[in-house]
Amino acid sequence: MGRDYSSASFATEACLMMSVGHVHPSAIVADGAAVGAGVRIGPFCTVGPDVVLEDGVELISHVAVEGRTRLGAGVKIFPFSTVGLAPQDLKYKGEDTETVIGARTQIREHCSIHRGTVTGSGVTRIGADCLLMAVVHVAHDCDIGDGVIISNNVVLGGHVEIGARAVLGGAAAVLQFVRIGTGAMVGGVSGVPSDVTPYTFVFGTRARLVGLNMVGLKRRGLEKGQLHTIRAAYRHIFCAPGVFKERVAEAEARYGGDPFVQEMLAFIANPGRQGLLTTTADAADDNEG
């Protein structure tokens, strides 16, 4: 069984366990902070009174963790990153909102992750086993799934949702309220104004569909027959002539038995606030490289 971090006695117990890890003399850990076993807090870090650091968390140096923030077991944060500070939202008036980071996620240098807002979900959430490379900004109320990789200098507007195992290339910018589906890939230096269907690949100054994220699908271990089915469904939905709604219905009838196609269709059937990215590049093709 894992440790019960919700228990009232955890903060007291955790203070006794701080010696199991290491807290640098220059670090400031506020009274009330809950610090698990084996936590390492490096030079000039600050940890606020409502923060929970689960077992094995490491703050390398010059890291600020504030607000009602929970860092899962084994999270590692590199210098000059901030987690759980107030959002850059003029409507925010100091409400008690939250930030949650999943286990084993790595947050590299100069990242900023802001807490949620009461006008949103109230929680900024990053899943387990994610990698945020240097200078990533995650705005308030974002919801990022497990295993997501976000490359250097990416900026996410407020309320962005990213599905599990998606990959965002360097310097991409995602408009607020956009959804990026499971297993999708966003190319570097791409502006993403609308939702990205699961398992697709988008690229461009104003992002356009390039094809499927075939590299990601192959890494899932899919057989050729299933890859061909997913490719056929994608091409029917986004590249065939005719009315989009009718093409979606036809693709469901022909290919809807495949679970990956089902996920794509379900995403399309539940549009978000920014609409769906359906514009394809002039030479739309699958991402093989």
Catalytic residue, from 55, 129, 141, 258: name it: 141
Amino acid 281: pLDDT? 83
Q: What is the mean pLDDT of residues 105-129?
A: 98
Catalytic residue, from 140, 145, 163, 236: name it: 140
> 79: Cβ–Cβ under 8 A, 6 or more apart, which residues?
60, 61, 62, 63, 109, 110
Q: What is the mean pLDDT of residues 12-19?
A: 45
Specify whether the CB–CB gap between 120 and 138 falls below 8 A.
no
Amino acid 19: pLDDT? 45
* Separation CA 289–CA 282 (nearest Å): 18
Answer whether residue 2 shows pLDDT above 80: no
> pLDDT per residue over 51-76, tens digit each?
999 999 999 999 999 999 999 999 99
What mean pLDDT is reported for the chain?
Answer: 93
Catalytic residue, from 120, 158, 169, 216: name it: 158
Q: Exposure string (b/e) for 134-168, b if CB count within 10 Å is 16 or more?
A: bbbbbbbbbbbbbbbbbbbbbbbbbbbbbbbbbbb
Specify whether the CB–CB gap between 209 and 202 falls below 8 A.
yes
In the residue annotation, 289 being an active-site residue is answered as no
Amino acid 7: pLDDT? 47
Per-residue confidence band for 12, with pLDDT thresholds at 50, 70 and 90: very low
Per-residue confidence band for 6, with pLDDT thresholds at 50, 70 and 90: low
> pLDDT per residue over 235-271, tens digit each?
999 999 999 999 999 999 999 999 999 999 999 999 9
Torsion angle, CA of 41/43/48/51, rounded to 10 degrees?
-20
Angstrom CA distances, 158 to 38, 99, 119, 194, stand at: 33, 13, 11, 14
User: Could you give the 3-state DSSP secondary structure of residue 231?
Assistant: helix
User: Could you give the 3-state DSSP secondary structure of residue 283?
Assistant: coil
Specify whether the CB–CB gap between 185 and 167 falls below 8 A.
yes
Per-residue confidence band for 225, with pLDDT thresholds at 50, 70 and 90: very high
Amino acid 287: pLDDT? 52
Answer whether residue 166 shows pLDDT above 50: yes
Strands 106-107 and 76-77: parallel
Amino acid 214: pLDDT? 96
Q: What is the mean pLDDT of residues 90-111?
A: 98
Amino acid 73: pLDDT? 98
In the residue annotation, 159 being an active-site residue is answered as no
In the residue annotation, 141 being an active-site residue is answered as yes
The pTM assigned to this predicted structure is 0.92
CATH superfamily, domain 10-159, is Hexapeptide repeat proteins (2.160.10.10)
2-11, 36-45, 249-258: the lowest-pLDDT one = 2-11
